[in-house]
């Protein structure tokens, strides 16, 4: 709420030209619209805990963790229409979330509503959230295509984050990202979402093309439905240093596996040790074996 208020103009926000709403805006508006429907159904059935879980997941993950991060480049950019659409969407979704949260957090939601309501009095005429209208599901806010498009970009970002995490890439390090798809529709999705895709995917540059021409053979890849995202290996790590680090990790794991295998092969240990201790060593063996497999796979990729 503080972030949104900090970026909101004093004169408030007005409904933009619908064409100014981008896929990310339509996605979160559609998700909020669905949330209204399911939470209202839960409330009507007195499924209070289920409604609370859905509210928590939507606000924490979809709204805060994803949408706010998606629109930050637009809020600080030079495109006034895009900025207005983002602010309108932020305000609208937060007001909806506050109303759905009100039965659980009456005092907090009332306080925040009082700060947000003057910024859109025509849409929210009631000065108190206690007498405001309960949100109602609207058929025209079901943006199915925008949801599919945004979910594809989210999947790509998650894949990039997994690759970076596996390679221990620092958050500050950016890389060139190339999206390859024979589908013009998918290429268009990434072209439209290029700004926030680059930001969330820690990309220094985003290239979108129909085939894999010009892409290095050792580039790391993230497979999507009808598309592949490539990241040049040299953009993520210093190859020689990473090989050296992984070889040290391999030697350490070999030592740990030798120790735990020796204990589990020792009849004296197995006959005298408590079952909990034996189980603990077996779990360590499985953990080290899994880690070793990952290290060997990474080394094989780096040595190509």
Write out pLDDT tens, residues 135-144. 999 998 889 9
- 222-254 burial, b for 16+ CB within 10 Å, e for fewer? bebeebbbbbebebbbeeeebeeebeebbeebe
211-229 residue pLDDT tens: 988 888 778 888 888 899 9
Residue 241 pLDDT greater than 80, yes or no: no
Residue 12 pLDDT greater than 90, yes or no: no
What's the CA dihedral at 216, 221, 223, 226 to 10 degrees? -20
Residue 74 pLDDT greater than 90, yes or no: yes
Q: What is the pLDDT of residue 25?
A: 95
DSSP string, the chain: -HHHHHHS-TT---PPPGGG--HHHHHHHHHHHHHHHHHHHHHHTT-HHHHHHHHHHIIIIIIIIIIHHHHHHHHTSS-HHHHHHHHHHHHHHHHHHHHHHTTT-HHHHHHHHHHHGGGGTTT---SSGGGSPPP---GGG--HHHHHHHHHHHHHHHHHHHHHHHTT--TT--EEEEEE-S-HHHHHHHHHTHHHHHHHTTEEEEEEESS-TT--TT-EEEEETTEEEEE-HHHH--HHHHHHHHHHHHHHHHHHHHHHHHHHT-HHHHHHS-HHHHHHHHHHHHHHHHHHHHHHHHHHHHT-
Which two structure tokens, joined as six digits, stand for 79? 């495109």
- In the structure, what pLDDT confidence band is assigned to residue 242 with cuts at 50, 70 and 90? confident
- The model's pTM is 0.79
Q: Which of 53-67, 90-104, 279-293 has the least mean pLDDT?
A: 279-293
156-210 residue pLDDT tens: 999 999 988 887 888 888 999 999 999 999 999 999 999 999 999 999 999 999 9
Q: Which of 13-22, 73-82, 157-166 has the least mean pLDDT?
A: 13-22
Position with higher pLDDT, 15 vs 135: 135
- In the structure, what pLDDT confidence band is assigned to residue 14 with cuts at 50, 70 and 90? confident
- Please return the burial class of 255, using the count of CB atoms within 10 Å of its CB with bins 0-12, 13-18 and 19+: exposed
Q: How large is the average pLDDT for residues 98-127?
A: 95
Cβ atoms of residues 71 and 196 within 8 Å: yes
Q: Which of 6-15, 87-96, 191-200 has the least mean pLDDT?
A: 6-15
Strands 203-209 and 175-180 come out as parallel
Residue 47 pLDDT greater than 90, yes or no: yes
Q: How far apart are CA 256 and CA 86, in angstroms?
A: 52
Cβ atoms of residues 228 and 156 within 8 Å: no
Nearest-5° angle of CA 160, CA 166, CA 168? 100
């Amino acid at each position: 709420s503080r972030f949104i208020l900090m970026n909101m103009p004093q004169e408030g926000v007005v409904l933009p030209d619908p064409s100014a709403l981008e896929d990310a805006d339509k996605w979160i508006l559609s998700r909020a619209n669905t949330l209204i429907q399911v939470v209202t159904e839960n409330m009507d059935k007195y499924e209070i805990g289920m409604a609370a879980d859905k509210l928590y997941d939507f606000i924490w993950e979809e709204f805060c963790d994803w949408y706010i991060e998606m629109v930050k480049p637009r809020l600080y950019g030079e495109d006034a229409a895009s900025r207005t659409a983002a602010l309108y969407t932020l305000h609208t979704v937060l007001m909806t979330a506050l109303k759905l949260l009100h039965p659980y957090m009456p005092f907090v939601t009332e306080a925040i509503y009082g700060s947000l309501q003057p910024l859109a009095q025509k849409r929210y005429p009631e000065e108190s959230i206690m007498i405001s209208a309960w949100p109602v599901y609207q058929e025209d806010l079901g943006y199915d295509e925008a949801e599919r498009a945004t979910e594809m970009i989210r999947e790509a970002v998650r894949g990039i984050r997994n690759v970076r995490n596996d390679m221990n890439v620092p958050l500050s390090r950016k890389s060139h990202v190339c999206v390859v798809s024979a589908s013009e529709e998918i290429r268009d999705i990434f072209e439209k979402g290029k700004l926030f895709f680059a930001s969330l995917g820690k990309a220094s540059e985003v290239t979108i093309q129909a085939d894999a021409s010009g892409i290095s053979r050792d580039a790391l890849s993230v497979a999507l439905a009808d598309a592949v995202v490539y990241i040049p290996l040299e953009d993520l790590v210093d190859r020689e240093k990473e090989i050296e680090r992984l070889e040290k990790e391999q030697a350490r794991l070999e030592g740990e596996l030798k120790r735990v295998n020796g204990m589990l092969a020792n009849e004296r240990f197995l006959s005298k040790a408590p079952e909990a201790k034996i189980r603990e060593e077996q779990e360590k063996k499985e953990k080290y074996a899994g880690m070793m497999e990952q290290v060997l796979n990474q080394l094989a990729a780096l040595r190509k």
